[in-house]
Amino acid sequence: LDRLRQEATHGKEMADLYLKVIEALALAIDAKDRTTQRHVRRVQTFAVELGRTMGLPEPDIEALKAGALLHDIGKLAVPEHILCKPGRLSGEEMDKMRIHPRIGAEILETVQFPFPLTSVVRSHHEKWDGTGYPDRLKGEEIPLPARILSVVDCYDALTSDRPYRKPLTKEEALKYVRSEAGTAYDPNVVEALVVNLDRLETLAAQINRTTETSLAPDKRRLKDRQGTLTRDANEMRASIMDNIS
C-alpha cells in the first residue's frame, strides 16, 4: 500500500513538474505580449469559475485550469506569419491553423496527466452543431470542459484589444455569443456565462491590475518583431513538425 502511495505521489509530482515546464513555454511563446497574457489568465479564471458553477468534478476543473493556459500550445507548429497576420486568413492558411488542436494534444500526450487535459486541448474548436474541428464532434460528444473553454475564450477575445481591431463592448460580445448558442456553443454554457458575467468581470478587472500581467512586454510596441524569441519559436516549430505526424 505504501509503495502504491509513493508511486501515485511520484506520478503527480512528475505531472506537476511537466505542467510547469509547458506553462512556461506557453507563456513565453503563445502569450508573449501583455495583451495576450492577460487574455490567457482571464480565460483560465472564467473557465474554472464556470466549471465549478456547472458542477464539474475536480479532475475536470484541473483540466480546465491547465487547458486554459495550454489549449493553443499546438500553435508552435503554425508559421509565425500566419499567427501574426492582421487580416483574414486564406483557405490554405486556415488549413495550417486548424492543425493546432491536434498538434497540441499530441504534445501533451507525452505525459500521463492525472486529469483529462488532452481532450480539452483537442476539442476546444469543436462546435455544438458538429461543424468544428479537428474531429467534427457534435453536442455532448464534445467534453464539457472544452465546451466551457470555447465559450469563455470567444467572449474574452471579443472584448480584448487587438492590433487589428478595437474591442467590442460587453453587451456587443454577449449578443454575439448568445446568437451562436445552439450552433457553435452549448446553450447551457452560454446561459451560465450570462448569469455569472458580472462576477467574472470583477475578477477580470483584478487580473488586469496584477503585477504579472502589467509588467509583461507589449510586443506591439517593439521595433524588432524578429528577435531571439521568434527565431527560437520557429526552430521549435520545425522540430515539432519533424517529430509529430
Q: What does the pLDDT read at residue 24?
A: 67
> How far from chain centre, in Å, is Cα 141?
19
Which residue from 75, 36, 56 is spatially nearest to 207, judged by alpha carbons? 36
User: E strands, 28-87, where?
Assistant: none
For 224-236, letters b (16+ CB in 10 Å) and e give eeeeeebeebeee
The phi-psi region of residue 40 (left if phi > 0; otherwise alpha if psi is between -120 and 50; otherwise beta) is alpha
Looking at residue 8, its pLDDT comes to 72
Entry pTM? 0.78
Predicted confidence at residue 244, as pLDDT, reads 42
How is residue 66 written as a grid cell?
A: 491547465
DSSP string spanning 142-191? Answer: S-HHHHHHHHHHHHHHHTS-BTTBPPPPHHHHHHHHHHTBTTTB-HHHHH
pLDDT, position 164: 60
Spell out the per-residue pLDDT of the chain, length 245, in tens.
777 787 777 777 776 776 676 666 666 555 444 456 778 888 999 999 999 999 999 999 999 998 988 888 888 888 878 877 877 889 999 999 999 999 999 988 887 788 899 999 999 999 999 999 999 999 999 999 999 999 999 999 899 876 567 889 999 999 999 999 999 999 999 999 999 999 988 888 888 777 454 444 444 343 444 443 444 444 444 444 444 44
Q: Is residue 116 classed exposed, middle or buried when 0-12, 13-18 and 19+ CB atoms within 10 A define those classes?
A: middle
The conformation of residue 141, written as its DSSP 8-state character, comes to G
Dihedral pair phi/psi, residue 178, rounded to 5°:
-65, -35
**Cα–Cα distance, 232 to 24 (Å, whole number):** 14
Of 116, 200, 188, the C-alpha closest to 147 is 188
Long-range contacts of 220-227 (CB under 8 A, 24+ apart): 220/33, 220/35, 220/163, 225/84
